[in-house]
Structure 1
Amino acid sequence: LDPGHAAAHANLGAALLDRRNPKLGATHLERALALDPSLSQAAYNLGTLKIGQRQWEAAARLFRQSLDAAPKQADAQYWLGNALMGMGDAVQARKAYQAALRIDSNLVQARWGNVMAQLPAIALLPQEQEESAAAFARELDKARTWFRTHRPSTGYQAVGSQQPFYLAYIEQDHRAVLREYGELSTSLMGAWARKVPVPAPAARREGKIRVGVVSAHIHNHSVWHAVLRGWVEHLDREQFTLEIFHVGEGRDAETEWAARQVARLHHGLGDWMAWAKAVSDGRFDVLIYPEIGMDATTVRLSALRLARVQLASWGHPVTTGLPTIDGYISAQAFEQEGSQDHYNEPLLALPRLGCSYRAYGTRPRPVDLAALGVAPGDRILLCAGNSFKYAPRDDQLYVEIARRCQPCKLLFFSAPGDLKAKLLQDRLRQVFAAADMDFDASVRFVPWLAQEQFFGLLQQAHVFLDSPGFSGFNTAMQAVECDTPIVAWEGRFMRGRFASGILGELGMTEWIAASHAGYADLVLALCDTSTNARVRQQLRERKARLFDDKATVDALATQLRGLAQGS
């Protein structure tokens, strides 16, 4: 290889990416671009690699470099849109998707992306977030009309290419619009299935009930710990044969544990079409999708009819809208009278928390608070949700908490280079400034911590603050495990009722708020030393009832038997 031959480096880099050698491939692509920045394909190839590594800014820069050299690339505009969405810039992402469609109106992934890009990860104003749901509905209707009019043979390629993930973080009833989304998704996937063709689901056979589980999160992940692990551990193998389809890439000690518990764990089968065949060939009585809406392969498979009975659960806690899903597994602690009205699927609410959650048992390691910018005497108030959980309508709540609980530090979390967290931080800073409050005196954005450090910080914290509108189940359960007092918000929908449901099961409903003023009152009350100590003691005495609830798995087994046998 001539060290100064740019095209040769570019070709070798592309070949190495095809051979799954991304590190060396990136080295040659970077060398090619250093020698000749106008090599559009090299910039494009390196950009797609950065997308896979979630290096959004670098990816966007490379796609723009590729487009500078060769402007008429619909695919480059599409991937630029994806990179911009990763950065949290929905406005510019929409422009990129629309530019792609001007070049190639049949690029269905760009058309799909433009619909999903109506939903910003971090809205800057309450009105923007509220209007984004309506914009999503309008653009979805336009896309549905286009697909029905043009009937592209590649329509199925749109499904799962992007997903309406951020819709769930808007506290509105999305049942109707998600039904339209689900019907369009199943229509597009159904057209593919009829061509293949995908065989009809098998009839029930004698013997054990065959249950398949499809998830991208069979590893150390919130969906695994919250929803699935206890089911895998305790579902009666005398009645059920259980197979897992781990469609994600990650594999760790939890994956290996899962493999030992089930009849078979499938992993690394290839693209979604290979997965569809494997699941169909399994001839399952019931398929369970612990989450639908966070992974492309899972969305595509769940939009197909691969088993006679197909169920979703609350790993992504909002109705799927898919006609191919026959029931939604939730929990009584998270639902209320009339909750069925929020779901397109029949609601199957298991007792209590609906899961057999295992305590981590992690030994806490205290955190150097000074290194986090916490001063001696500060009340530590943990805000442990992802940045997109915090809606702009609630920003004033944190101003009020900071005002009333001084001296304090509200601790939010972010990763290095997390642009969405930066958007949240900037938005909060402006709200604090408008209220004539010193943001830096009361708020810190700190790095995500390892498990033992997070447990240490939970023990050092005065209060764990539930995020209104979209609660955090795993973080709230970890707070309970560490005896950290919680102030919860009881939302309108299941996704806003995790922490309040947990407190309800503990008989501690006095710490559930229904207004901003009431929430701030409860946080201030827990800043009192004697009150805080009393609540910690209550948590120590009562928390065992939340863990290892095998009876909920027995209730799941009863539901599965009835569905599999058609009763």
Structure 2
Amino acid sequence: MSLEETLQQAIAHHQAGELGEAITLYRALPAETSSSAGVANLLAIALDQTGDAAGAETALAEVFSAGTDDVEALSNYLALLLRRGAVRDGLEVLSQLAALGADDPSLWQQTADAARAQGGAVDALAVADHGISRHGDSAGLHLLRATALLATPEPEAALNAFRRVRLIRPDLPEAENDLGGLALGISDNDGAARHFRAATILRPQFADAFANLALALTACGHLENAATTARTAVKIEPLSLQALAVAGEIEAKRGDPGMAATLFRRAVLSDPGSAQALNNFASGQKDLADIDGARTAFERARTIDPTLAVVHRNLGMLLADVAEMTGARAAYDRAIALTPNDIGLRVKAAFAFSTITGSRAEIDVIRARLIEELEQLSASGAKLSDPVREVGLTNFYLAYHGLNDREIQARIANIYLDLCPALDFTAPHCTHPKDIAGRRLRVGFMSRYFHSHSVRFISEGIVTGLDQEKFEVVVISNRSEDEVALFPDGQRADQHVVFAEDLWATQAQVAALELDVLIYGDIGMEPMTYFLGFSRLAPVQCVLQGHPVTTGLLPIDYFICSDLQELPEADEHYTEAVVRLADIPVCYQPLAEPAAVTRADYDLPADAHLYFCPQTLFKFHPDFDPILGDILARDPKALILLLAEPTPYRMDQLMARLDQSIGDTARIRWVPRQSADRYYGLLQLCEVMLDTPHFCGGNTTIQALGLGVPPVTLAGEFVRGRMTIGWLRAIEMDEELAAKTPKQFADIAVRLATDPEWRAEIVKKIEARKSELFEQTAFIRELERFLLAAHAAALSGQTRLRWLERKTG
């Protein structure tokens, strides 16, 4: 059989799908035939079709080395090399094609694409530039060049490259989409939306562009439009991971975690091997409070792709939220190893310390380590661009250590100013405060927690009680006026402002209100108001007792408290000036009726002495353990009730500590959290309410007193441990119920539980005076006098007015 007949027979077998026979015949043909390159190309195609890509590449490498001019063989060899990621070898083949005049622009695009996929932005750029030198009018090559520039520290060059693409091909949707991404990356949200919208007009079925447009609309604050746009992206490509992820994130922001979880689940079903899809699904389960499900999904994602830093970061945040700080720190450290320049993540890691401490020595170690890590970060020259977004937490748990926080709060504030100098902002109107002659004093009240929260109970009486003939009241909240509903029917604030969920936008938003006085309901509970507190947004800035610890922030001028609560030396506890009002600055509304319940309704024994401590578990300082142990030792019928948490981590940590410190914890029982009426009912069934030392109850204390239930307290040094003694002083019950030593605390508690006659006397005294604790407004008149005086002082350049009006009568 002649060579030509052998070749034709091989081709026939090949066309019939008989690849083995074809390969045998192709290999039988001598390499020196005139059509050797063509034969090698056919052999390579057959081998590749059998899955032997390496054999195919070897067959073509031989003819390339021999210097062939067969364009088809060279093109196929290039394709094989690029598929393997051998970009540099591919460039040699492409150069040979160029020498033959056969370097179609698409080949340069494929090579540049392969270089970019390998993560070599510079190589991709070089390939695109070389291709453009030969095909200057190729919009595709210019688009690749622009995209490659996105991965370099040259955003302006990328922008110019995209503009060049638009000049060549004004109708190229990919260019508009990438331009939108560039604009979004520099926070030009409106510009990004314009480009993404243009891309969707040029290609109405461009799902990625719709998803990106949804992201831009979200950044612009147009959440409902963003949701509609994201749904369009999902409708176009129901299995698109990007579209499903964006749609899910937006539904979560809209407050529909169920729909978000459904979308994230669809993405996982679409691609079960996608670590990013599992990460999103886990985030959705976290929003649904399915902590175990979220943790499992994060860990699966971590197994699939251990290099995906966001998974480790999110797992760390989940574990920190449920107080599993050892695991949180480990997850953060893995994320930091992958993204060492993520400064916010390094701050999160520094704050991942145990919230159930074992001893005072452990507390000292925690605080020293925290400052050491933060100061190292500051000294490194690292910077944050948006601490709310990047850090997303406050110094909240330091307040529960039972120590003077003035120095540590101030040091942390200074570190944040080093990390993010933009925090130091002064609203223009504050440089020259305006006289209030002929107008009302404009007072803003700001908090995220003006809804059903302890901060609301502390703040609402003040907000609604100011004389609106003298004061213009502005409420600044993250919720609408109807959702907050601070004012009774027929009344309302002069202005209600919903702040943006963006630090810099909120900073500008509050500055534009030109307030005379800004009063924070709390600082330190959540990141927005904490980081906003670094700014001077009003000539006079105050904070209420929503989080009763000094802020450490110099722009906060005054801490509002009461002479009934504070010690004479309390000035040493604050960076703010202490405003000691004669009465406690809280106007509580009367309590709702408790549920009609019995002990059996809570599965509690009828003959037990119930000691209820309804505080959050991070208030349980190690110093409290001996008191609890003393009560249990002295009262054989004692049953101590603690409120259970949604997740077991902190409960397990506390019980492990109590097992060590007390020994016998069989008579410490967890009760689930209750609705308000059932909680009040349970409280009334108890002989005594136990207050936590160092950080005592606030709302819980007045609720107990309002129900005639005696609280026992051990007043601390700082106001966060002196809220209860303030209430007791207000009704002259501190001598009976405020202990001076741990032993006396146990004495009072056990006597209340075991001496019914004495307890009845105490309850009678409480009942006779408890009405004085509710709907009190005298302090509001004093606060009004203070606010006017503080503003007058600010006009004269005095920012720290001393204030103390002694109560008379």
Deviation at 1:103, TM superposition (A): 1.7
Which residue type is aligned with residue 472 of structure 2? T
Q: Is the 8 A contact 1:463 1:526 kept in 2?
A: yes
Q: Name which of structure 1's ranges 324-333 and 348-357 shifts more when overlaid on structure 2.
A: 348-357
- The reply to whether residue 405 of structure 1 matches residue 635 of structure 2 is yes
- The reply to whether residue 85 of structure 1 matches residue 325 of structure 2 is no
1:224 counterpart residue number: 456
In 2, Cα distance between equivalents of 1:387 and 1:156 = 28
Q: Secondary structure at the match of 1:66?
A: helix
Task: Label 1:253 to 1:324 Cα distance change in 2 as closer, same or farther (>3 A).
Answer: closer
Task: Label 1:187 to 1:209 Cα distance change in 2 as closer, same or farther (>3 A).
Answer: farther
Deviation at 1:68, TM superposition (A): 2.0
Q: Is the 8 A contact 1:384 1:413 kept in 2?
A: yes
1:490 counterpart residue number: 715
Deviation at 1:188, TM superposition (A): 4.6
- The reply to whether residue 456 of structure 1 matches residue 681 of structure 2 is yes
In 2, Cα distance between equivalents of 1:178 and 1:421 = 28
Q: Name which of structure 1's ranges 291-300 and 393-402 shifts more when overlaid on structure 2.
A: 393-402
1:473 counterpart residue number: 698
Residue of 333, 350, 358 corresponding to 2:581: 350
Residue of 332, 341, 344 corresponding to 1:109: 344
Deviation at 1:36, TM superposition (A): 4.4
Q: Is the 8 A contact 1:373 1:444 kept in 2?
A: no
2:311 counterpart residue number: 76
Deviation at 1:115, TM superposition (A): 2.1
1:523 counterpart residue number: 749
Deviation at 1:208, TM superposition (A): 0.8
Task: Label 1:57 to 1:324 Cα distance change in 2 as closer, same or farther (>3 A).
Answer: farther
In 1, Cα distance between equivalents of 2:488 and 2:554 = 33
Q: Secondary structure at the match of 1:488?
A: strand
- The reply to whether residue 501 of structure 1 matches residue 726 of structure 2 is yes
Q: Name which of structure 1's ranges 69-78 and 495-504 shifts more when overlaid on structure 2.
A: 69-78
In 1, Cα distance between equivalents of 2:374 and 2:248 = 39
- The reply to whether residue 376 of structure 1 matches residue 606 of structure 2 is yes
Residue of 361, 372, 389 corresponding to 1:138: 372
1:40 counterpart residue number: 275
Q: Is the 8 A contact 1:506 1:542 kept in 2?
A: yes
Q: Secondary structure at the match of 1:178?
A: helix
Q: Secondary structure at the match of 1:549?
A: coil
Which residue type is aligned with residue 214 of structure 1? M
Q: Name which of structure 1's ranges 381-390 and 44-53 shifts more when overlaid on structure 2.
A: 44-53
In 2, Cα distance between equivalents of 1:383 and 1:330 = 25
Alignment of 1:139-538 (within 5 A): 139-146=373-380, 149-150=381-382, 152=383, 154=385, 156=387, 161-191=392-422, 199=428, 201=430, 203-206=433-436, 207-225=439-457, 227-247=458-478, 252=483, 254-255=485-486, 257=488, 260-267=491-498, 269-360=500-591, 362-432=592-662, 434=663, 437=664, 439-440=665-666, 442-508=667-733, 509-527=735-753, 528-538=755-765
Deviation string, structure 1 residues 159-179 (Cα, Å, up to 9, x no partner): 751111110000011111110
% of aligned pairs identical? 27
1:66 counterpart residue number: 301
In 2, Cα distance between equivalents of 1:475 and 1:354 = 16
Deviation string, structure 1 residues 425-449 (Cα, Å, up to 9, x no partner): 34334444x3xx3x33x22100111
Deviation string, structure 1 residues 97-155 (Cα, Å, up to 9, x no partner): 2222222222121111022113x222244532342222222222223223xx23x3626
Q: Is the 8 A contact 2:631 2:750 kept in 1?
A: yes
In 2, Cα distance between equivalents of 1:219 and 1:26 = 26
Deviation at 1:91, TM superposition (A): 2.0
Q: Is the 8 A contact 1:60 1:83 kept in 2?
A: yes
Q: Secondary structure at the match of 1:537?
A: helix
In 1, Cα distance between equivalents of 2:552 and 2:305 = 40
Which residue type is aligned with residue 515 of structure 1? T
Which residue type is aligned with residue 290 of structure 1? G
Task: Label 1:22 to 1:158 Cα distance change in 2 as closer, same or farther (>3 A).
Answer: closer
Task: Label 1:550 to 1:25 Cα distance change in 2 as closer, same or farther (>3 A).
Answer: closer
Deviation at 1:501, TM superposition (A): 1.6
In 2, Cα distance between equivalents of 1:368 and 1:469 = 32
Q: Is the 8 A contact 1:413 1:447 kept in 2?
A: yes
Deviation at 1:9, TM superposition (A): 6.3
Which residue type is aligned with residue 717 of structure 2? R
Which 5+ residue runs of structure 2 have no aligned equivalent? 1-232, 795-809
- TM-score, length basis structure 1: 0.90
Task: Label 1:155 to 1:296 Cα distance change in 2 as closer, same or farther (>3 A).
Answer: closer
Q: Secondary structure at the match of 1:65?
A: helix
Q: Secondary structure at the match of 1:321?
A: coil
Q: Is the 8 A contact 1:409 1:443 kept in 2?
A: yes
In 2, Cα distance between equivalents of 1:268 and 1:158 = 15
Deviation at 1:562, TM superposition (A): 1.2
- Give the superposed CA RMSD: 2.7
Residue of 544, 547, 566 corresponding to 2:774: 547
Deviation at 1:285, TM superposition (A): 0.6
Q: Secondary structure at the match of 1:261?
A: coil
In 2, Cα distance between equivalents of 1:467 and 1:17 = 40
Q: Is the 8 A contact 2:639 2:668 kept in 1?
A: yes
Task: Label 1:421 to 1:544 Cα distance change in 2 as closer, same or farther (>3 A).
Answer: same
Q: Secondary structure at the match of 1:566?
A: helix
Which residue type is aligned with residue 724 of structure 2? A
Q: Secondary structure at the match of 1:266?
A: strand
Q: Is the 8 A contact 1:382 1:411 kept in 2?
A: yes
1:562 counterpart residue number: 789
In 2, Cα distance between equivalents of 1:497 and 1:224 = 20
Task: Label 1:451 to 1:444 Cα distance change in 2 as closer, same or farther (>3 A).
Answer: same
Q: Is the 8 A contact 1:333 1:352 kept in 2?
A: yes
Structure number with greater Rg is 2
Task: Label 1:160 to 1:302 Cα distance change in 2 as closer, same or farther (>3 A).
Answer: farther
Task: Label 1:405 to 1:108 Cα distance change in 2 as closer, same or farther (>3 A).
Answer: same
In 2, Cα distance between equivalents of 1:161 and 1:492 = 30
Task: Label 1:416 to 1:380 Cα distance change in 2 as closer, same or farther (>3 A).
Answer: same
Which residue type is aligned with residue 604 of structure 2? V
Deviation string, structure 1 residues 35-84 (Cα, Å, up to 9, x no partner): 64421111222233344455444433333322222222333322222111
Q: Secondary structure at the match of 2:561?
A: strand
- TM-score, length basis structure 2: 0.64
Q: Is the 8 A contact 1:213 1:288 kept in 2?
A: yes
Q: Name which of structure 1's ranges 507-516 and 336-345 shifts more when overlaid on structure 2.
A: 507-516
Task: Label 1:70 to 1:185 Cα distance change in 2 as closer, same or farther (>3 A).
Answer: same
Which residue type is aligned with residue 517 of structure 1? K
In 2, Cα distance between equivalents of 1:63 and 1:246 = 33
Q: Is the 8 A contact 2:423 2:534 kept in 1?
A: no
In 2, Cα distance between equivalents of 1:66 and 1:104 = 17
Q: Secondary structure at the match of 1:323?
A: coil
Deviation string, structure 1 residues 322-381 (Cα, Å, up to 9, x no partner): 112111111111101110001011111111212222222x11113342353421211111
Deviation at 1:311, TM superposition (A): 1.2
In 2, Cα distance between equivalents of 1:79 and 1:258 = 43
In 2, Cα distance between equivalents of 1:9 and 1:526 = 62
Greater RCO, CA 8 A, separation 6+: 1
Deviation at 1:510, TM superposition (A): 2.4
In 2, Cα distance between equivalents of 1:390 and 1:100 = 31
- The reply to whether residue 127 of structure 1 matches residue 357 of structure 2 is no
